[in-house]
Structure 1
Amino acid sequence: MGWFEFALAYAVFFLSHSLPVRPPLRPWLQARLGASGFTIAYSALSLAALAWLIAAAGRAPYVALWDWAPWQVHVPLTFMGPVCLILALSIGRPNPFSFGGARNDQFDPARPGIVRVWRHPLLLALALWAAAHVVPNGDLAHVILFGTFAAFALLGGRLIDRRKRREMGPEWQRMRDRVADAPFLCLPVSWQRLATRMAIGIGLYVALLWLHPWLFGVDPLA
């Protein structure tokens, strides 16, 4: 199917990300699935669309934009370590400013954790992942794929800020100011939880290295 499949996968991916979170569809879905059910269904749909998009990029006609060199492999190998740690430190922890958080009512602006460094840590992880993978994938389809993701991650924070500011009202600015006043590196609420999340991040990195040949058909260590 070539470029047609790639374009179709692109359209499905962005529609699957944008339509379910817009009113009135999101309230309608949450009323029937529940908040947790909506999050699980939305995440599963997003991952399925992403998997198809990546596979479609691999099947698109190969149009080289630059030559491959062995040093390029070290770029994603280096950046994926921080990406995995950011994911482990971000997913499922309170963050009322962005997506991917949980128990946002328990967020402590005096101890914001990674939110003090970056308000949208999952977008930061996405930007690093995408930009790092552009380097060893110098064909047109993959440059479009990863380049678009990197640009979306860098610009998406503004869209989320706008929506969250509208939803939270004046509390958004008050809480943001309190986070800005917190120490840049503050002591964690629980050292045990921090160590557990760090271990999960390292385990995720190792798992991705091991599974990469089966998931994406490329061995990053070869």
Structure 2
Amino acid sequence: MALACAAFVGTHFLMSHPFRKGLVRGLGANGFALAYSAVSLALFYWMIVEFTRAPKGDFAWPVGPFLWGVATLVTLVAAILFTGSFVRNPSLPGAPDAMATQDPAGVFKVTRHPMMWGFALWGIAHILVAPRVDNFIFAGSIVFLALVGAKAQEIKKASLSGVEWDAWLRRTSYWPRFSMLPSAGIGPWFAGILLWGVATWAHPYLGVAGAGIFRWFAGI
């Protein structure tokens, strides 16, 4: 499983940075996007397969209702950040440089990397309630890729966008300002709660422990 996780993380960094220009030149922008997505999905599937096969060892710390409650709230915040990241996001591929000159709105009031922090918080929450070696590797890889990848993305955007991206950096924060979450807007909150509800409801059907409010409703 460690090999699959290393391949997933490594190819993301290689294809996003040192190999990107050559691949775009050879495949074209659309071809590169397709190849990048295909490689990422294939390696993520490999990660999941290896994770399901990995031996489940003992927990590194006891997990009780308190940690489950914390993880429930953390995954809700992650879902809100993730769903809100698709609206007016200057970090997305193909986003116009001028978008970075706008005032931050929605979840970008919280952090300029809501998608990455959504992934990272998801990973942290799952480590909290399943502190096993296999999960440290699996979820830890996602946390590492999200947070280090966000910083690498900033370096790339700075070289491509210049003053527009510098202005965006001055008006936003890398680290989440959770006090701004209530002002993210109805859209991200509604979409986030919906995603969070469906994802937690689906846990037992995916062969994993019940999660979120459904954990208590199911009497687990």
TM-score band by shorter chain is 0.7 to 0.9
Q: Which amino acid aligns with 2:21?
A: P
Q: Which runs of 5+ in 1 are unaligned?
A: 1-5
Structure 1 vs Structure 2: percent identity of aligned residues?
28
Residue correspondence of structure 1 range 13-52 to structure 2 within 5 A: 13-21=8-16, 22-31=20-29, 33=31, 38=33, 42-43=36-37, 45-52=39-46
Worse-matched range after superposition: 123-132 or 112-121: 112-121
Q: Deviations over 1:177-217 (max 9, x none)?
A: 3568xxx96xx9xx9xx434432211111110122223353
CA distance in 2: counterparts of 1:116 and 1:196, whole angstroms: 14
Q: Work out whether 1:78 is the aligned partner of 2:78.
A: no
CA distance in 2: counterparts of 1:135 and 1:201, whole angstroms: 21
Residue correspondence of structure 1 range 1-222 to structure 2 within 5 A: 6-21=1-16, 22-31=20-29, 33=31, 38=33, 42-43=36-37, 45-71=39-65, 72-91=67-86, 93-96=87-90, 98=91, 100=92, 103-104=95-96, 107=99, 109-113=101-105, 114-177=107-170, 194-215=185-206, 217-220=208-211, 221=215, 222=220
Distance verdict in 2 for CA 1:44–1:70, change over 3 Å? farther
Q: Report 1 or 2 for greater relative contact order, CA contacts < 8 Å, sequence distance ≥ 6.
A: 2
Q: Which runs of 5+ in 2 are unaligned?
A: 174-178
Q: CA deviation at 1:32?
A: 5.1
Distance verdict in 2 for CA 1:121–1:171, change over 3 Å? same
Q: CA deviation at 1:15?
A: 4.2
The root-mean-square deviation of aligned C-alpha atoms, in Å, is 3.1
* Runs of 4 or more above 6 Å deviation: none
Distance verdict in 2 for CA 1:69–1:175, change over 3 Å? closer
CA distance in 2: counterparts of 1:44 and 1:73, whole angstroms: 34
TM-score (norm 1): 0.73
Partners of 2:13 and 2:149 within 8 A in 1: no
CA distance in 2: counterparts of 1:104 and 1:215, whole angstroms: 39
Alignment partner, residue 3 of structure 1 = none
TM-score (norm 2): 0.74
CA distance in 1: counterparts of 2:79 and 2:97, whole angstroms: 25
Distance verdict in 2 for CA 1:57–1:23, change over 3 Å? same
Distance verdict in 2 for CA 1:164–1:216, change over 3 Å? farther
